[in-house]
Structure 1
């Protein structure tokens, strides 16, 4: 048996092949660091468990009407939306967020029978948004949530809702543009905490929107878990 002493041995050849593969996947040999690609922004629906609005539950989006509209635009698809008790919300805001207004039912002021109106809408509308003017009692909220579970309808609210399955709280907001974005919005940055009330860990997200482009979500780190009330 003869060995080619001038050429590489089988072991050396194997090591060279391994190093080549490691370099391709971003791993440097032995004691050198592992190179990881930086995280990239994802669609705004990354905020939502499973990438979509959960059905048959209540979801709160607090401290930002803009985030509420962006979520509606990102998650509407072919579903119908009802906006009840929110006269301050101009139709321009959801339209610019990508909401199909031809599939929106709006009632700025449902009067004293707001609970009955909401109950009727839950029977035929997939997403029902209860605005700040939709004044309903705690017991009415419980009944409406039970009805939403039966009809697989999603309730969205800018206020706290007892028994909500998911809370999205905006803790930081930064607008840029002339007069800090009041006249012409160039960029928007929101810091959002996602708190599932049933299962899963809380997490923080950075939401960014450049001009009229689609807003994006970037998970930053886990948030302190809060015990459900």
Structure 2
């Protein structure tokens, strides 16, 4: 009578040997399935290298007054903030973003002397917002940045600033609510590209805010490298 069972393969013999050794030394073998946790959202300060505004430097926050307000609310702490040449930046929006208005100096109309007003404030205020109404020339921006470096002050600007240490470009903005959020803003989502010396081509972030809760940030992928010129 012939044995119809096939001879064990090399893999089966190896498994049998391993199980025999495990039984001798008292090792139990368990198969595990490892599930990777989804990335978690972080406070808005995760959008900033080191978690705070750079000191003695300029930061560009483009195409979003809301993001400007949120950043001020997330980073002000006990520091003074000056708003220069930006009459449309709502104090109500700043307060809702968590800004302490008792530590805010507002100069909405600079009367054509934006550089002089900013230079005076850079000496005694930790965070200075140079609004579009300041109407600065390239040479004035260079002089003000040099003064900010000397005084350890941070300049925030909604328009490009030569030599900025940090650039936050808003690529996409979506509001939800009645009439697409025009009347009552319930949720906001921004796609922001952060560019700094440490970021190479840049890092793209997803910024969301639900109702009146604090906005959160999530790094989603590297940004495409921009062409020079």
Distance of 2:161 and 2:226 partners within structure 1: 16
Q: 1:9 aligns with which of 20, 24, 44?
A: 24
Q: CA deviation at 1:35?
A: 2.0
CA displacement 1:148-180 (0-9 Å, x = unmatched): 000110000000001111110111010001111
Q: Give the match for residue 210 of structure 2.
A: 210
Scaled by the length of structure 1, the TM-score of the pair is 0.86
Q: Give the match for residue 200 of structure 1.
A: 199
Secondary structure of the structure 2 residue equivalent to 1:67? helix
Distance of 1:180 and 1:76 partners within structure 2: 30
Distance of 2:119 and 2:73 partners within structure 1: 24
For the aligned residue pairs, the C-alpha RMSD in angstroms reads: 1.7
1:37-186 aligned at under 5 Å gives the runs 37-186=37-186
With 216-225 and 141-150 compared, the bigger mean Cα shift is at 216-225
Q: CA deviation at 1:227?
A: 6.8
Q: Give the match for residue 31 of structure 1.
A: none
Distance of 2:190 and 2:81 partners within structure 1: 24
CA displacement 1:19-75 (0-9 Å, x = unmatched): 48xx4xxxx3xxxxx421000110000110000000010000000000000000001
Contact 2:112–2:134 (CA<8 Å) still a contact in 1? no
Q: 1:74 to 1:109 in 2, by over 3 A?
A: same
Secondary structure of the structure 2 residue equivalent to 1:8? helix
Identify unmatched segments of 5+ residues in structure 2.
Answer: 1-19
Distance of 1:117 and 1:75 partners within structure 2: 23
Identify unmatched segments of 5+ residues in structure 1.
Answer: 29-33
CA displacement 1:126-155 (0-9 Å, x = unmatched): 000011111111101000000000011000
